[in-house]
Amino acid sequence: MQRVKSDAAFSRACGLIPGGVNSPARAFGAVGGRPVFIERADGAYLFDVDGNRYVDYIGSWGPMILGHRHPAVIAALEAALARGTSYGAPTEAESELAELIVDIVPSVEKVRLVNSGTEATMSAIRLARGYTGRDRIVKFAGDYHGHVDSLLVAAGSSAATLGVPNSPGVTAGTTRDTIVLAYNDVACLTDAMSTHGDEIAAVIVEPVAGNMGCVPASGEFLAALRDITRQHSALLIFDEVMSGFRVALGGAQHRFGVTPDLTTLGKIIGGGLPVGAYGGRTEIMDHVLPAGKVFQAGTLSGNPLAVAAGIATLEQLRGDEQVYKRLESLAARLADGLVEQAERHNVPARVQRVGSMLTLFFHEGAVTDWDSAAACDTDRFAAFFRGMLDRGVYLPCSQFEALFVSLAHSEADIDATIAAAGEVLGELS
């Protein structure tokens, strides 16, 4: 597969943009080679500037659950566009999106819209500190919550991929109040909270981790998180930027029946445009300015185009109870096929899946935390990624990411992906 135009585009970009990309996850740093430049997308497919077609399992890192250019989303955007692009004043559409989130997400009685998942988690942490009057926060190694200074400690996603758990520029003072624990480790959590519990403003967790690859929290861990934070009057924050509206309509909190105090959202709620959100009980959220005193603001928060795309997307998801059955069916087909091919070719690998997010780990045995994720054969993953890319399948460009199946994928797309995986795994064995 030739990518002459992509290569030229990357060379040009590198002279203008650090690393030639506007987010490090896209740089192919973990898989080798040069990034593919995309010209357009449609349904389940990406098309690069050289005219190559790829079955897309990035889905813009999660937002494109309907597939690209869904007619309802495009129509909503065109209608919004006819009325302008941004006003800097409130609109009823923002209340419509807020109402959808409040109706669907169990923990959310009030919600504030922002522009990214990072803004959502940064704001939720500030709110938790303002609400509790406490300083310290707990996060888990391998979880990634965006590039919030205080959370860029033992982060997952591209921070892990690039081996930059503690980024230069993040000061010791910023992370002094951050405690990092092992994911899925109840004893570790219990010990830390018994020691520090009364100082802890919040515990933030990905209830289904996607940023060390797909690593679900155990039921025991989720129950312990809920019980122990309540015991110590610390807030439990579910970072559902990735899992929200992905693993179930109501997210992981609905799928697993554990209700946090605050929830952060992003990705799917913008339908491919920049939207993040944080929400929770009214008695907490009413501490946010101007209702309360915790400052948070944003020029383009609740932007009419982004909100229109988000509303259209959520309405498609809530409008048909078959949606999540379809996503489960397609993702299970893919997962089973990948497992079968790895076994057929005697390649030590494991698939972990929750709903329509999943990861093929080049690792024997379960991946339950960052230490086990970090033990994966990332060189073999890189070779697998490149082989699949050359066969027209675009996977997440890191072992520490999840891939996403959309409603636009067909059984034929899934079966072609499995066949390609068989060829590549055969070459790797």
Footprint of ligand KE4 (CB under 6 A): 23, 25, 61, 116-118, 121, 144-146, 157-158, 206, 210-211, 239, 241-242, 266, 276, 401
Backbone φ and ψ for 389, nearest 5 degrees, come out as -60, -45
Q: How far is the CB of 64 from ligand KE4 (least distance, A)?
A: 13
Nearer to ligand KE4, 189 or 403 (CB): 403
* Bridge partner residues of 139 (DSSP): 180
> Of 262, 296, 267, 265, which Cα lies nearest the Cα of 280?
262
Active-site entry in 131, 144, 183, 324? 144
CA 142 and chain centroid, separation: 13
Active-site entry in 239, 369, 377, 413? 239
What interhelical angle do 71-81 and 304-318 show, nearest 10?
A: 150
Task: Using CB positions, name the residue nearest to ligand KE4.
Answer: 117
Nearer to ligand KE4, 23 or 233 (CB): 23
* Catalytic-residue membership of 139: no
List CB contacts of 283: < 8 A, sequence separation 6 or more. none
Q: How far is the CB of 246 from ligand KE4 (least distance, A)?
A: 10
Q: How far is the CB of 397 from ligand KE4 (least distance, A)?
A: 10
DSSP states of 169-231 as a string?
Answer: T--HHHHTTEEEE-TT-HHHHHHHHHHHGGGEEEEEE-SEE-BTBSEEPPHHHHHHHHHHHHH
List CB contacts of 330: < 8 A, sequence separation 6 or more. 356, 405, 409, 411, 414
Name residue, tokens 């650090």.
Answer: 18
* Catalytic-residue membership of 267: yes
Nearer to ligand KE4, 211 or 356 (CB): 211
> Of 323, 280, 238, which Cα lies nearest the Cα of 111?
280
> Of 181, 149, 151, 144, which Cα lies nearest the Cα of 168?
149
Q: CA torsion angle for 106, 108, 109, 111 (degrees, to 10)?
A: -160
* Catalytic-residue membership of 177: no
3-state secondary structure of 68: strand
Residues annotated as catalytic (active site), given as ranges: 144, 239, 267
